């Protein structure tokens, strides 16, 4: 089943959700700010995306700038930061089986539906 990691307050995430809805396929909405993924789940998503943990960060968030910018962090420490402050996780993320994509721009989501 398709999963979309969604933040309803984010315009790009809402656009991504609309694309998934229009596909008419079964999907699950995961409001990741309320229902945090586990560290293992987040690591698995990163592996499916084929990126490193730093590439999933929203580095323009104030939380990042105030607490982490300029520090040398391991992948594990970056995961911990994202789980402590889920606003740091880029969105939306769509997972379809063994494929995943960050919906920036949202139209990229169509490639895995």
Catalytically active residues are 10
Is the separation of the CB atoms in 109 and 92 below 8 Å? yes
Q: Residue 87 and residue 65: Cα distance in Å, rounded?
A: 13
Extract long-range pairs of 72-75: CB within 8 Å, 24+ residues apart.
none
């Amino acid at each position: 089943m398709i999963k979309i990691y969604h933040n309803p307050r984010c315009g790009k995430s809402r656009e991504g959700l609309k694309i998934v809805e229009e596909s008419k396929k079964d999907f699950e909405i995961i409001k990741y700010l309320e229902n945090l993924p586990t560290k293992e789940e987040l690591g698995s998503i990163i592996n499916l995306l084929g990126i490193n943990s730093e590439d999933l960060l929203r580095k323009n968030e104030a939380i990042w700038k105030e607490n982490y910018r300029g520090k040398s962090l391991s992948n594990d420490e970056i995961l911990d930061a994202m789980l402590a402050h889920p606003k740091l996780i880029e969105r939306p993320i769509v997972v379809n089986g063994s494929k995943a994509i960050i919906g920036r721009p949202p139209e990229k989501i169509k490639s895995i539906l």
